[in-house]
Amino acid sequence: MIQFLIDTIIRALDLALIAVALSGVYSLIKFPNVALVQYAVVGAFVGMLLQQAGLPLVLALPVSAIFVGLVAVIFNVLLFERLLTEGSAIALIGSLALSMILSAVFLLAFGPAAYRFDLAVAPAMRVLGARITVHQLSTLAITVAALGGFAAILFFTRLGREMRATATNKVLASASGIDTRRVINATVFLSGVLAALGGMTLAMRGSVSIDLGTQMLLPVFAAAILGGLGNALGAIAGALVISAAETFVTNTNFGVLTGTDFLFLPASYAQTASFALLVGFLLLRPSGLFTSEVSRV
């Protein structure tokens, strides 16, 4: 049971940062930016390149995250602001096109091979009978710190108040003197930072390749939708639900159902669990676990 909980939390780390970034942006500009999963891949590759250039990992991570945040703002200003004038559906198609372009760039620049950070090899530790590695603990600390920082910005700063006001009613926020364009770009920057950190923490526990974005797309969207698309912190709960479903499917012995001693489903069935859970929630609770919109007077 302890191992199941640890595996669930570790898998949730893969989804939470990117899902929060997706919901945070959606709450302001009302379209799901598919390219965010590719921003995570950019963060991982840039972090590795910085480490190979001699920058310590403790510096490579924030530098890469800031770089991706700036790239996200540039794409928002040059591409998505213009596409959104034609409608959110056009912006969604544009983000899908950008995602495919970035994937092609990754293929040309890095090829199909998997890449890893240069990290010291350490044996797994035993905690209450469950196995956990130092790198898993490190990424857990990074994720908790990043999400805690985002929550602090959202609830205890002027920018956070402006973000919540803009998400509630953009027109009224603008009429109240809030520079909504600046707020949106600040949120896009933060989303890029979170997505990049998500890609780098995933690479710290394993490897990253050009198809990482494609692999993460469905579970990240499922987590964001389950949490209530537009509810950034609700996406954390959605990530935990999705990760629990995936861990259950891939770590449960179904042999008793078939009369055999052992029957474990392959890892490829994890995304099937995400999709099935998402469909079920959409049928029973389309708004997700938490309400993503507030009532307007």
Q: How far apart are CA 153 and CA 146, in angstroms?
A: 11
* CA quadruple 95, 101, 105, 108: dihedral sign: positive
Task: Please give the model's pTM, rounded to 2 decimal places.
Answer: 0.88
* CA quadruple 13, 18, 20, 21: dihedral sign: positive
Which residues touch 94 (CB under 8 Å, ≥6 apart)? 79, 80, 83
Q: How far apart are CA 93 and CA 123, in angstroms?
A: 45
Q: How far apart are CA 28 and CA 241, in angstroms?
A: 25
pLDDT tens digits, residue range 49-98?
A: 999 999 999 999 999 999 999 999 999 999 999 999 988 889 999 999 99
**Burial degree of 164 (CB within 10 A; 0-12, 13-18, 19+):** middle
Q: How far apart are CA 195 and CA 206, in angstroms?
A: 17
pLDDT tens digits, residue range 228-286?
A: 888 888 888 888 888 888 888 777 766 666 667 666 666 667 677 777 777 887 777 77
Show the beta-strand stretches assigned E in the chain: 125-127, 130-132
Q: How far apart are CA 46 and CA 216, in angstroms?
A: 18
